[in-house]
Chain A
Amino acid sequence: MKQEDEGSDGDPGETLKRAIRAQRQRRKKKLLERSLVQEIHEDEDAGEVSTLQDFSANRASAEKTDNLMASTKPPAGSHIGLRTQHSSSSQYLDTLQEKLRAARSKVERLQQHEASVEPASRLQRLRDGDHVTRFDREQVDPVSAEGGEDPPALRSRVKFREAARRVDKDLPTAEEAYNFFTFNFEPDHPNESEKLGRKRQKQRETTEEDRGEAEVEEDAEGEEDNQDDNVIQSEDAPLVQNENDLFVIDQSPQDFLVMKRAEYVGYRKRLQRDSELLFTPSLRTVPTSVKLPENMKPRFLEDEGLYVGERPPVSQTNENILENRILRAEEGKKWFGDDGKIMALPDPIKESSTRPPLFHMEGELHPGLQTVYRKALPSKYANLFLAGAADPEGDYQLDVDISGLVFSHHPLFSREHVLAARLAQLYDQYLTRQHNNLTGHLTDKLNGLRNALRNMMNIHGEQGLSLALRQRVSEYSFEVRNTRQLRDAEQEKDRTLLKSIIKVWKEMKALREFQKFTNTPYKLYLRRENVDRASDERKYEEEILTEVLELEAENEEEYQKKLVEYNKQLEEWKLWRKKQKAIRKTKKKKKKKGQAQDDTEEEENQDLKESEPEGPFEEGSLKPEPPERPDLGSIEQQVREKASRIRRRAGEAILIPELSASGSITATELCPRAEIARREDVSRRSLFIKILYNDKEVSRTGSCSLNADFRVHFGQIFNLKILNCPQSIILQVFEEIGSSCSLLAQVFGPVPDPSVVTGRAPIEKFEFSSNQRVMFDHEGVGSDVPISFEPDGSNKVILLTSGQLLCCMSWGAGDDNAPLAPPVSQQPGGVRRGLGHLDAVTSIGASGLYDMKKISEWATQSRLDPNDPKNASIMQLLKVASSGEVTAPEYFRLEHLQDEFNFVSDEELDDSKRFRLLRLRNQGVAEFRNYKLVPALESEIPDKVLQEYEKRLKDGEIVDTKEHLDSHRALVAKYLQRIQESVINRSILAKHYFQLPDLVVEEEIPSIGILGINLFKLTEPKRPLKPQRKDRKKVTAQNLSDGDIKLLINVIRAHNVPIRKPQSNKPGQSSQSAIQSSDSYLSQAQVRPFVEVFFQRSVLQTTTADGPNPSWNEELQLPFSAPNGDYSTTSLQSVKDEVFVNIFDEVVYEIGPNKDRGSSIHTQIEKHWLGSVKIPFSTIYSQSKIDGAFKVNTPAVLLGYSKELGSYGAYDHFRKPSEGTFIRLFITIEPQLVPGESIREKFESQEDERLLQASETFEREAAQNYPDRPCITTVIDLNGKTVFITRYIRPLKPPQEFLDAFPNNPQEATTLVARYVSLIPSLPDQVSFSGTCDLWSTCDQFLTLLAGDEEEHAVLLCNYFLFLGKKAWLIIGTAIPEGRTAYVLTHEPSGYFIWNPSSGQCFEWDDPFCPLQTVGCLVNPDNVWFNVQQKTSPPNMSFDITKSKLWKPFFSRFFSHPGLSSIQPEELAYRHADKAAAVELQDRIEKILKEEIMKWRPRHPTRWNRYCNAILKQFLPNLELSRGQDVAEGHRHELQSLLGDYRIAGFPLHLPFSEIRPIIEMVYSTGVHNIQASNVEFALAVYVHPYPSSVLSVWVYLASLSHL
């Protein structure tokens, strides 16, 4: 305080400084106050205020003079803020502030302990300069303003300042203010203030912490700050003063004793601090203008046409953060490109992989990338487990006895050790040799041989040798020579061995002497065995002598041989020589002759001759050199030399080396340092052995230290209980030095033979070695290091660590002393090492068992014991085989044990009917598929059972022309059958692929709507008064039998039945009585129709009704039996039977009156066929019920009947009279059968995947929204491939003759074409392909097969129509009775027409009797449209496909037509109509029919009216020409006129021709043959009209004639 007073006047800088100091002190005090509230002195406070006041007054003046915008801030809590003001308003403000200050000081004193301050904000405000508002606000709400609440706008405006502001919040010092204003701010360094703030903070902290020294320090710091900030002042003197003064003056207990609360930094504060220290870039997008240099517009290179790579994808947020961050940094703008974005290289990630595709087309692949075929190897661990190992009895025990380890070289070997080891090795070798004593053996042998030879010579003498003897002698001598050579070799070896032993021992001795200590206990004694010199010498000489003799003999022999050879050669040569001479002579003569002729030539010849004697002579036969006589003297020399080399000299003592380990080793203390180090090293080492069984460590020995002699003794036996087959036993030798251990070597132990039992097995030595390189700086020689024993360092050797492991592996012995070994058979092949000679199969392979040669070879090789009973069978076999009685089979058998597993022999299997039956049933052959109870005994199987099957098989090959009547059709039938079979096979296969819905019934997941409805249903009454019809329960066909299934046919009513023609109208004369009698009937009823249903040869009929529109309402039940009693779905689907519904007219004739007796009247009932409806069973089966009005197929001509309706009611004119007869039927099967489902097998396709998907979606959507409308977009062709439907539609040319027939009437051509198509027999796919799938054949296939479904007909018809220039579509829909079917729609000027392709009929679209019930979709070559109208029946629909509200197109704007090519051929090839064949066929049909009819009338004679036949035959071609149009009248008239007195009932039947059977059936169903009258006669005519491509139209005219 005093200082303050002292320096109260002076320059403003001084003043300010003082003010700052005062401020600080005050602040300090106040802090103290705050911490020690009770210590506050009021007076002090008051003084404070007063000083403050005059201080501020002072400052006010200073402001005026300097125009400094200053704001001092009182210490925390006292908010006497001086605002920055422009000088103009400062005056006024000052006065205001004075007032304010006075008023506020009170308040603030109260608030003192709430230390809410706001320094920086004020500073800021100063800078921002919105003082007016500030001021206003302060007036209005001073507290809030003072509370440091920044207006949010401000806070957000300069965020980074916040840190500084917060720091200063409670401590806006005067110094700070001073600094702020005096400091030269550079505009680019806004952070400076922050720095300041930080410094200040530091100060504050120090003050707060140690208050006592704070004053001084702070002052100093303040000075420093000031210096930093380039404030000029006189520093030193006041500083020192201050220091002293302060120290003296402010000494009070409070200065030294600081009591304060434990420091706690609040969370907020901490956050604040963090935010101060950390810089958090904003997430906001940086405006482009900031990022670019001033006044620059962003420039987009890409827009200017330059290539700009794609930037790597970075999220916008990250980019923003980065930009904000960069902008803060120095030269931040350099990171931005011209376009205001961060500069970035183009995205380095390539779009496609750069690795070359691995799958080239074959050939070009780099050999390194070629896939290599590797044979499948059996898994290493498969079948490793021993059977029975798990149970306690079957435990197998492998004993591993590790007895010890001997190093033959070790890195720690000293040189002496190396030598010792070598010596030991050599000695070992010596011992073995000695033990084997090969030399002795050979010597003995040699002596024996010599003796034998000598004896032989002695006995027989030289000359008396027979040839055989001579042979033997030479053999002996040969043997002697061999043996001698062998013996010499052995002797030499012995000798060298001995020599080297001695040499090594000498080396060792030298070494020991040299190094002056001994490391090894080895000592070699050479025992000298003196021999009797004389005898030894004699022996030696003898030996040499014999040998020399022998050699001489040998040489002599050789010489003789050579001599013989030489003589021979000499002989030859002489001969040749003579010849040469002769030749030369002749030549010379010639020469003389020819000399005169030509000189030059002669010269040449001369030359030739000159050279001749040498040339051939040299080449051809050299004059043989006589062989040299062997030098006998030199032989002896040689022998002696050799003997001295390899043999002990005569009389020399025999040296026997003896190695003993009895020597003493020099004690360690006596050894040189290096040796001591080595020995120490040795003692540090220890070794242990790990046992790995099948590559798994199972056990390990304890570690034993290495002895000085480099032997380790373990002596441990490990019993391994094994579960796995033994694959390998590995013993790993580890060396331990201290705590580290290293693998020295691995020893692979053999898996012992099962016969090797513990106790009996000898300890074996396994060599091991390691190639580790070890070097020592002591005496140890190391390993893999060259060492030399020569003083000059030559003759280096490299020694590797090696040694022998002494161990033994064997099988544990069980209680009964049996080895606990797994049986051999269980061990995988590779382990059966060493067993080969025991097991024939392993040694020569299984297939070898049938090769006698191999067996005998093996038997000799393995030296089978012939007396072993185990081998008896093999010996037997061999004996037989060698005697040649049994010949080995010359075939190879794959499974040579098959015989033993065969149930019965193959012949028996084939012969037995029972087995055959069982097998056929298992194969699913149609006849036997459901054969029940195959008899257990052969004898009970009837022979017939298989006969039919065999017959069928036989028939398969020959074409039955009789049944087919047409060779082409027969072939087609065969072809069809083959397709059928393949499809059935496929379906049978497919049946074995189950899907979940096949096995499990599961509710579909209901949509929310359905769920709601279901929930709603819970509230419904359980037994409603008007119950709804529920579906019948469907029966799966598997447990049905004959008689269970019935066909229910409800015959309801018929319309428009033809009525009888009044006979009176007949032009011809007829019996009066007949007319009368019939008249009476006619007046009553025009017709009395009844219905007869004919199915599977059972017939039922309804009652007779009256009139042309009868109503029966009768239910007929017909039994149904499936073929072969097979009620499976497939079999039911292939039932070809048809239901015939025939309408008959019951005609009653009275035949009484014209007989003699008038009293009784006989009535005769005849039934006249009026028409029929034919419904295939398959249709009923697949649809489960058929309900509707069927058009009755009435014959074109019905003799005696007229279709013109006589008297109809008032509604007559509503109907068209020509539309024919209709019958309403309801047909179903009881119980309801589950119709077969088509295969779900996904067929392969060549269509585009996208198209297939689209079509699937299309169909699925259609099925979801309109479940009862068939929608087809893809179909399956005959090859079983999925094909898009529009590919089937393509304009195709019909046969030319149809086009030519009516060149100027296209309408006629249309009907002709339709008729042609309808003449192709129809055969449902369900029948032909047993319902498995709907196959669509192309038109050419269809015309070849001449059979097809409605689809094929429709497609063909549609294609023809398109060719004829019509607008035609295929309709996919449902119709009666076919069910799902295809029709054809055409658009004519007069409207739309619907064509039934299988009948050729045409309907107008609004015809109520059109069989087409629903229209699902339309198809033309370009598109498919699905019906999305409300109604589905044609009369209620619009066929305008352009309206997309009514017809949903498949190809639309979204999915355009990909340009599918048609699969139809470009042109159909038609074969010409074969008239001759047709005539032939016609005759045959007629003959067959006549026979059949006679057969059906077994009890009555069947008379044929030939005349009538002829007439009828004439009618038929006309009928064909008129295509069945109504020409009835003409016929009848003609007939009546021709035949006169007959009552004629008859009709022509028209059929497309496929087989004879349907014709017969048809004729039978009309019941013409049933007329029993005695005087009846029949007439039958058949006409076959051929159309191109063997399409045949068959007409059968049937008539019955009865005499009147």
Chain B
Amino acid sequence: MATSNPSVFLLTVNGQIEGANFPEYDNLYCKYCYVYGHDWAPTTGLEEGITQITCKSSQSHRLIWNFPLETTFKSTNPFGWPQLVVSVYGPDVFGNDVVRGYGATHIPFTPGQHTRTIPMFVPEPTWRLQKFTGWLLGRRPEYTDPKVVAQGEGREVTRVRSRGFVTVSFNIMTKDMKKMGYDTGPLIPSNGLPATPD
């Protein structure tokens, strides 16, 4: 790639899914994937992954995954900027794996360190009886595709309940954005809060 005249810009996402705060549940794991537009392509790194199962400790009620994210995207067009979609799963009373939350966030635009707390939600059953049978059979309503939460279309037909939060920290680097004419603001990562896993 010619440095003088680049044809793509690069976005490197380093970071980690630090943990989550689900007051009601335990033994959870998290899946993540990226959703991005046509003009984006991942060059290196894992595009999707799944974390270990984490239990809460007796002291803290936080679930810690500390699952690294390392992906580099290339793109020619900021349209369709990548989004990180996380979905948290865990066993229910009967040991069935059920979904505990979906959430999505855009990868931060500006280079530097960022921490994002993603509110999580799950689709609600259409009616009560279904809630009961779903609970009994271990089949909660799920999105056909977790990526649904990254798109705005069609969400109006669903009903969701909020569940908890997932915290993700990002370290963003971009290359050649400015050269291609995209100014994403100050380079100084002043607005990024220091990531302190508590």
Contact = CB atoms under 8 A, between A and B. Distances in A.
Interface string B107-151: 000000000000000010110011001100101011111001000
B160 to A, nearest CB: 9
Interface string A989-1003: 000101110111111
10 contacts: A931-B38, A933-B39, A933-B40, A998-B144, A1002-B134, A1003-B133, A1003-B134, A1003-B139, A1006-B137, A1011-B133
Interface string B177-189: 0001000000000
Contacts of A1011: 133
Given A994-B156, A1002-B123, 11 more contacts: A933-B76, A936-B8, A999-B123, A999-B148, A1001-B143, A1001-B144, A1002-B125, A1002-B130, A1002-B134, A1002-B142, A1003-B134
B198 interface: no
B153 interface: yes
A937 interface: yes
A999 B155 contact: yes
Contact of A998 (B8, B38, B154): B154
Interface in B1-17: 5-9
B7 A940 contact: yes
Contacts, number: 85
Contact of B126 (A918, A994, A996): A996
A1014 interface: yes
B119 to A, nearest CB: 18
Contact of B38 (A921, A992, A996): A921
Contacts of B38: 921, 930-934
B7 A936 contact: yes
A996 B157 contact: yes
B41 A1000 contact: no
Interface string A762-780: 0000000000000000000
A995 B77 contact: no
A257 interface: no
A1101 interface: no
A1003 B137 contact: yes
B77 A1000 contact: no
A933 B180 CA distance: 15
Chain B CB within 10 Å, residue with most, of A932, A1000, A1001: A1000
A1001 B87 CA distance: 15
Given A932-B38, A933-B39, A1006-B133, A1000 B123 contact: yes
A1011 B133 CA distance: 9
B158 interface: yes
A995 B145 CA distance: 14
A7 interface: no
Nearest to B47: A1039
Given A918-B77, A992-B153, A1002 B129 contact: no
Contacts of B156: 994
Interface string A931-958: 1111111001000000000000000000
Contacts of B134: 1002-1003
A996 B143 CA distance: 9
A996 B130 CA distance: 14
Contact of A999 (B75, B76, B143, B180): B143
A937 B144 CA distance: 37
Contact of B141 (A940, A994, A1001): A1001
- What are the nearest 6 A-B pairs in CB distance? A994-B154, A936-B76, A1002-B141, A1003-B139, A1000-B123, A1001-B142
A358 interface: no
Contacts of B148: 999
Size bracket of the A interface: 20 to 34
Contacts of B74: 933
B158 A934 contact: no
Nearest to B8: A936
A932 B142 contact: no
Contacts of A937: 5, 7
B39 A1005 contact: no
A1036 interface: yes
A1036 to B, nearest CB: 7
B153 A936 contact: no
A1003 B129 CA distance: 11
Contacts of B154: 992, 994, 998-999
Nearest to A930: B38
Nearest to A994: B154
Given A999-B155, A1003-B139, A1005-B133, A932 B41 contact: yes
Contact of B76 (A934, A995, A996, A1003): A934
A932 B39 contact: yes
A992 B156 CA distance: 12
Nearest to B176: A936
A1003 B137 CA distance: 9
Interface string A1010-1029: 01001000000000000000
A994 B153 contact: yes
Nearest to A936: B76
B2 to A, nearest CB: 11
Contacts of A1000: 123, 141-144, 158
A998 B157 CA distance: 9
B145 A1036 contact: yes
Nearest to B160: A1000
A934 B75 CA distance: 9
B8 A999 contact: no
Interface string A834-846: 0000000000000
Nearest to B130: A1005
A1593 to B, nearest CB: 47
Given A994-B154, A1000-B158, A1011-B133, A934 B39 contact: yes
Contacts of B79: 918
A1001 B77 CA distance: 33
B129 A936 contact: no
B58 to A, nearest CB: 33
B153 to A, nearest CB: 6
A1002 B5 CA distance: 51
A937 B134 CA distance: 52
Contacts of B6: 936
Nearest to B182: A936
A930 to B, nearest CB: 7
A1579 to B, nearest CB: 53
Given A933-B39, A1002-B125, A994 B130 contact: no
Residue among A940, A1002, A1011 with max Cβ neighbours from chain B (10 Å): A1002
B39 A1002 contact: no
A999 B144 contact: yes
Interface in A18-47: none
Interface string A420-436: 00000000000000000
A1245 to B, nearest CB: 24
Contacts of A1036: 145
B103 to A, nearest CB: 15
A1003 B136 CA distance: 11
Contacts of A1014: 137
B138 to A, nearest CB: 9
Nearest to B181: A936
B144 A936 contact: no
A1014 B139 CA distance: 12
A1036 B134 CA distance: 25
A1002 B77 contact: no
A995 B157 contact: yes
A996 B8 CA distance: 39
A397 B54 CA distance: 57
Contacts of B142: 1000-1002
Nearest to B94: A1018
Contacts of B76: 933-936
B133 A935 contact: no
A1474 to B, nearest CB: 49
B112 to A, nearest CB: 23
